[in-house]
Amino acid sequence: MHYLPHTPEQVDAMLKSIGVQSTDELFRDIPESIRLKQPLSLPQGLSENAAWRNLQELAGKNKHAGQYICFLGAGAYEHYQPRAVSHLLSRSEFYTAYTPYQPEISQGTLQAIFEYQTMICELTGMDAANASVYDGATALAEASLMAAEATRRNQMLVSSAIHPEYRATMETYLHGRGISLELTPYWGGLTCQDALGKKINKEVAAVVIQYPNFFGSIENLQQFAEIAHAAGALLIVCADPVSLGVLESPGKLGADIVVGEGQSLGLPLSFGGPYLGFMAAKEKYMRRLPGRIVGKTVDRLGREGFVLTLQAREQHIRREKASSNICSNQALCALSATLYLSLLGPGGLEQVGNQCLQKSHYAKTLLSKIEGVTIPFQVPTFKEFVVKTEESPESINRRLWEAGILGGLDLGRYYPELTNHILLCVTEVRTKEEIDKLARVWGDNV
């Protein structure tokens, strides 16, 4: 956005028009004691060319995944983005941030959202999906509110193997609604089913599981669904959408609500956003989905058309009946996911999932051969896995950084009992040579 300052002549003309002598007169209601009595401390102005160079220099201080070989995941992943995605996304008809309230002039946008919803339903095994929300963490929090409203219960049983920052977002959302959040421990890299079975009671609205979990381990959803449903609770699953190219859908394993972060579907890392949260549910909970749902219909002549069908938001229904006050979805990001999934197709997504699976297992095997490195969790994993080291993660990551490699996440930051444990991620974009280099540089200290 350009900033065009007013000339002194223009300011004088405006003051004269409204009948005041000076700009200070406009602020006469503000106490004199708190007004700034001096000009703002700003540097001298720059030409456009000099300002551009200055900003480029500042931006150059940042390092990104394009400059380093990235083995860091933990919620934001470097996947391949087909060039056609960004090209199609930049078409002018899609570059609007606002809601397509008028279907007669928004058929393209509405159809794109409808296709997105359909693909999310196919991926998750659910009956209905909304038009997306802000990100995966807020989607999980919104799903918890849905479950509490649906069951009229005020307790969430949450796996401690869920992304710690997602749990923090849930706590922020649920605190104000008087909904408590109780953690269930993990054991051997998986959510402890016995402990969860002992904690569940008739006050629990939902059991919340990540799939694969924060450690990359693949949870047994079917067993959690049985435990939750036996107590009258729902099963909420926070899923990695790329993993659903090779894993069974949560819907077929008993999930009632499925959410997740859609960044893996054709969106770049971009220093943390904007991303999108996807949300899908069984049909009986469809009217509790926050945001909006686009539906397909026909007019009186039998011509196909798309419209906003359900909008369980406070602007459109009685405020006290609203399931959420969320007002905006991430339409452009959702379109990016739609384009990505359309270009790959089911076979392509399966291939991406298989490459993530094979390459991450190759890296895990290679690293486990390094002296001082062990694999603490002997369970099936997808894309991410944990290693235990005798050397400090900081020391290892510094050595990797100097060799042009972005290392893993120090898990001691979130789990004190996992000091000297590192979470690593290997996606389909990593090559055998890059994984070999990771192991070679890592093992240089022995």
Q: At residue 265, what are phi and psi to the nearest 5 degrees? A: -90, 70
Asked if the structure places residue 19 within a domain, the reply is: no
Question: Where does the pLDDT of residue 446 fall: very low under 50, low under 70, confident under 90, or very high at 90 and above?
Answer: very low
Q: At residue 246, what are phi and psi to the nearest 5 degrees? A: -125, -20
| 301 and 171 both lie in a single domain | yes
Which sign, positive or negative, has the C-alpha torsion 337, 339, 345, 349?
Answer: negative
Q: What pLDDT, in 10s, does the model give residues 197-241?
A: 999 999 999 999 999 999 999 999 999 999 999 999 999 999 999
Asked if the structure places residue 387 within a domain, the reply is: yes
Q: For residue 97, what is the domain's CATH number?
A: 3.40.640.10
Residue 381 has pLDDT above 70, yes or no: yes
The per-residue pLDDT for 321 is: 66
d(CA 74, CA 210): 12
Q: For residue 420, what is the domain's CATH number?
A: 3.90.1150.10
Closest Cα to residue 332, out of 238, 265, 257, 280? 265
Using alpha carbons only, what angle is made at residue 261 by residues 257 and 264, rounded to the nearest 5 degrees? Answer: 130
The per-residue pLDDT for 357 is: 97
* Residue-number span of the structural domain to which 245 is assigned: 83-340
Asked if the structure places residue 243 within a domain, the reply is: yes
Secondary structure class of 251 (helix, strand, coil)? helix
Q: What pLDDT, in 10s, does the model give residues 234-259?
A: 999 999 999 999 999 999 999 999 99
Q: Which two tokens stand for residue 370?
A: 């390094």
| 368 and 326 both lie in a single domain | no
Q: Where are the beta strands (DSSP E) in 25-135?
A: 69-70, 128-129
**380 bridge partner residues:** none
Element (H, E) at 281: strand 277-281
Q: What pLDDT, in 10s, does the model give residues 391-437?
A: 999 999 999 999 999 999 999 999 999 999 999 999 999 999 999 99
| 367 and 422 both lie in a single domain | yes
| 125 and 226 both lie in a single domain | yes
Task: Give the total number of structural domains in the chain.
Answer: 2
| 217 and 104 both lie in a single domain | yes
Asked if the structure places residue 64 within a domain, the reply is: no
| 224 and 318 both lie in a single domain | yes
Asked if the structure places residue 62 within a domain, the reply is: no
| Alpha-carbon distances of 248 from 214, 219, 223, 243, 382, rounded to whole Å | 18, 11, 14, 9, 13
pTM confidence score:
0.88
d(CA 19, CA 13): 10
Element (H, E) at 138: helix 136-151
| Alpha-carbon distances of 106 from 65, 93, 99, rounded to whole Å | 36, 9, 9
**297 bridge partner residues:** 305
| 298 and 349 both lie in a single domain | no
